[in-house]
Amino acid sequence: VPVAVTTTTTTTPAVSSTASQSRAEYNLSSYPERTVKLVDFSNKVYIAPLTTVGNLPFRRILKEYGADITCGEMAMANNIVSGQASEWALMKRHASEDCFGVQVAGGYADTMSLTSRILENEVQSDFVDLNSACPIDLVCNRGCGSALMTKSNRLFEILDAMTSQLPSRSVTIKIRTGWNEKAPIAHELIPQMQSRFNNKLSAIMLHGRSRLQRYSKLANWDYILQAAQAQNPSLRRIPVIGNGDILSWEDWQHHQHMLEDNLHSVAQRSASLTHTGAHTTELAGATVDEVEGDAGKEVLGLCNCAMLARGALIKPWLPQEIKEQRVIDIPATERLDILRKFCNYGLEHWGSDQQGVNNTRRFLLEWMSFLHRYVPNGILSQPYAQGMNQRPPQYFGRSDLETLLSSPSSADWIKVSEMFLGPVGKDY
């Protein structure tokens, strides 16, 4: 839950005009009085920004299944400044999103400074996330996304600009391990960000893959811990949130146990060095008790936050699974009801005219390209568990509806959409 802290700054007239105004109309040097919100990600379930599929109707579904923090889809800074309506729609917040962030991608400090100022005055959010992790060629070729990791000076200039223009909300950043897996650089960037933005960054989200790996291979959680531990122990540690390959509460538990094993080994090293009057760099004088459990993760800079991405697309009830620490075998009828809700929320969000129906159908079908990959736990041979990067063969479910929802055929997805949105045209 955001913690409100009042801070007094120079008072100037509020900016009331829209993002299409010229740069000259925005005073970038002074602000009205603001209320600062410090977002605490600890022990929360956070739904990561998901381009195209992480839309407002989808996030409403995730909130109903227990998500604590949500974030809008990646928006391009240039499009925000130019007032592009479709880009501004990505930052719309639903009333149920009690802790909400927006994610922005940009490659230049001046553009990001203006964008941040616009967000400060025109958008209601609890935090703003800088995307330095998107692997898409179109984004990287513009100097945005993962490309920023290869230009650290420009990255830090952008963070300087954002933190100076967003006095009322937290700033976070999402990065990857590096450009390629053979030369990871996150463990170098994180200490530099800690030194330069110690009291300005709320959290660092670290995707456990490189840019070239995109979404292939498994996320490297050992490296995530290594990068978090690379911070200077004499300074406040910026919480590092790991991301990648969480498809069940067991996956989350496995990552936590793996991290706890690492923490235990650090505690043992600390205990052995205590007899000599020394201490490990990671602990910076912390006691053995301080590095056990969740408190230990915080001591080493790792935030105990379940950050979900593709796993939430495949299993939207995953937040509930993690919180209740149990496998939930959702029946096909309830899964169909999720789709019905999405369509209702979509028509409410995009409109009930033909354009709204078309948009709702399009995003429903996009989502079903992930949803169909779910294999019900009840038909798996125990103790087998479905993995994120596995593509199971087509199977017969426990009912005709369950079989239909597992179909990889887009024609079958269209049939499902027609249950709620009416028939499509013959050339669809």
Q: What are the tens digits of pLDDT across the range 224-279?
A: 999 999 999 989 899 999 999 899 998 998 888 777 766 666 656 655 555 555 44
Q: How confident is the model at residue 377 (pLDDT cuts 50, 70, 90)?
A: confident
Q: Give the residue-averaged pLDDT of 113-117.
A: 96
Rounded Cα gap, residues 303 and 43, in angstroms: 8
Q: Judge whether 275 and 292 are in contact, CB under 8 Å.
A: no
Q: What residues contact residue 137 under an 8 Å CB cut-off, 6+ apart?
A: none
Give pLDDT, residue 372: 94
3-class secondary-structure state, position 406: coil
DSSP code per residue over 56-86: HHHHHHHHHTT--EEEEEEEEHHHHHTT-HH
d(CA 8, CA 11): 8
Residue 2 in this model has a pLDDT that exceeds 70: no
Classify burial at 159, counting beta carbons within 10 Å of its beta carbon; exposed 0-12, middle 13-18, buried 19 or more. buried
Q: CA 304, 309, 313, 319: dihedral to nearest 10 degrees?
A: 10
d(CA 83, CA 123): 13
Query: Active-site residue 144, yes or no?
Result: no
Residues 6+ apart with CB under 8 A from 334: none
Q: What letter represents residue 385's amino acid? A: A
pLDDT computed for residue 269 by the predictor: 61
Confidence tier at 410 by pLDDT (50, 70, 90): very high
pLDDT band at 293 (very low <50, low <70, confident <90, very high): low
pLDDT value of position 37: 63
Give the per-residue pLDDT at 7: 36
Q: Which two tokens stand for residue 343?
A: 């369509």
Who's near 367: CB < 8 A, 6+ residues apart? 53, 58, 313, 342
pLDDT higher than 90, residue 9: no
Q: Look up residue 331 and give its two tokens.
A: 């029946």
Looking at 71, 99, 134, 305, which residue is catalytic? Answer: 134
* Amino acid at position 11, single letter: T
Task: Please state the rounded mean pLDDT for residues 131-154.
Answer: 93
Q: What is the CA radius of gyration of the chain?
A: 22
Determine the pLDDT at residue 285. Answer: 47
Higher pLDDT, 299 or 136: 136
Mean pLDDT of the chain: 84
- 369 versus 275: the higher-pLDDT residue is 369
Which of these ranges, 163-177, 292-306, 331-345, has the smallest mean pLDDT?
A: 292-306
Question: Torsions phi, psi of 127, nearest 5?
Answer: -155, 160
Dihedral of CA atoms 177, 181, 182, 187 in degrees, nearest 10, equals 10
Which of these, 62, 51, 12, lies nearest to 32 by C-alpha position? 12
With 80 as the cut, is the pLDDT of residue 5 above it?
A: no
Q: Record the pTM.
A: 0.84
> What one-character-per-residue DSSP string does 129-190 give?
EEEE----HHHHTTT-GGGGGG-HHHHHHHHHHHHHH-TTBEEEEEEES-SSTTS--HHHHH
Task: Break the chain into its structural domains and give their ranges.
Answer: 3-324, 332-421
Least confident range from 126-140, 207-221, 364-378: namely: 207-221
CATH topology for 3-324?
A: TIM Barrel (3.20.20)
Share of the chain above pLDDT 90, in %: 65
Residue 26 above 80 pLDDT?
no
Between these two residues, 244 and 384, which has the higher pLDDT value?
244
